[in-house]
Structure 1
């Protein structure tokens, strides 16, 4: 059976996330560097597929935070606001910064995004920027629908019959 390509049906707007608010779930949160070697916090947010009345379900929004030029530290106000929006608990303590970032994985939140033009080294770019992070209106997440495996990277647990109460 043959298959014929027909590009007349391509809608470029189907690929670019439009400005607006989206319910998302955090797929990954990590500290590292960007391709140019600059330190950053990188959050991979997935637009939720289990919220049926929003477009772009399954698309990724990348939310990067860079250290401030003044002191080389991340903006604590923005970071704590992000943690609050993600539903982390006031006063919660973590063994280290990596453990803190791991606590974001699987958390739902609502973000407002805007496409912005910028230039770098004489080239023009359009980037999708997260402008606000808020508490989700839909805190119950169907992780399977969103392709999030909360147990990825976890350690295998072996349970023998003697460990079971029945």
Structure 2
């Protein structure tokens, strides 16, 4: 018996072109710190075009056409200070509706505050020249984040990586509604 039989009928070939300029309803999949080989550091935000709004007529040319596409936004640390421009994060935090006065104590708090939050994002399609080759890229500025017009998120992830709920695809959660108490004495613990 074979492991797999090739069948390409369900493959989605969307290409690698940049998204057209416009407003997209997106969800922040994740954020993480990254560094280049030269040591430049950034907080990279992975934005995904939401797939739960395909039926909204006003989004037929954006979300319905480009759902599940990723746009990465880098917030670079300033060379002079080796610190992030914290003011730019305020636009993003406001857009994802983090309550005014909420303390964000460190980068991990910021990452946690942004994860899986919706926002309406203006994505700009621009030309970039990298190593002598001109290509289309997407750019997102922090001030181009706004509150989502559709705050109730029903986006379904294509995979279960990056901390998404492993039980989201109707798999049974073995610990859900488990009201049973577990009694363990100190003698049963290995430490």
TM-score (structure 1 length as normaliser): 0.76
What residue ranges of structure 1 are gaps of 5+ in the alignment? 5-9
Instruction: Within 5 Å, give how 1:14-53 maps onto structure 2.
Output: 15-34=17-36, 37-52=39-54, 53=59
Instruction: Within 5 Å, give how 1:1-166 maps onto structure 2.
Output: 15-34=17-36, 37-52=39-54, 53=59, 54=63, 55-131=65-141, 132-144=144-156, 150-151=164-165, 161-162=180-181
How far apart are 1:98 and its partner, in Å? 0.9
How far apart are 1:96 and its partner, in Å? 2.6
Rounded Cα–Cα distance in structure 1 between residues aligned with 2:126 and 2:98 = 30
Indicate if the aligned counterparts of 2:17 and 2:136 stay in contact, CA closer than 8 A.
no
What residue ranges of structure 2 are gaps of 5+ in the alignment? 1-6, 167-173, 183-191
Rounded Cα–Cα distance in structure 2 between residues aligned with 1:144 and 1:69 = 38
TM-score (structure 2 length as normaliser): 0.67
Q: Deviations over 1:16-69 (max 9, x none)?
A: 311101000000111121465420011001100001133200100111111123
Name the Cα RMSD after superposition.
Answer: 3.2
Rounded Cα–Cα distance in structure 2 between residues aligned with 1:37 and 1:72 = 11
Determine which structure has more spread, i.e. the larger CA radius of gyration. Answer: 2
The structure where strand makes up a greater share of residues is: 1
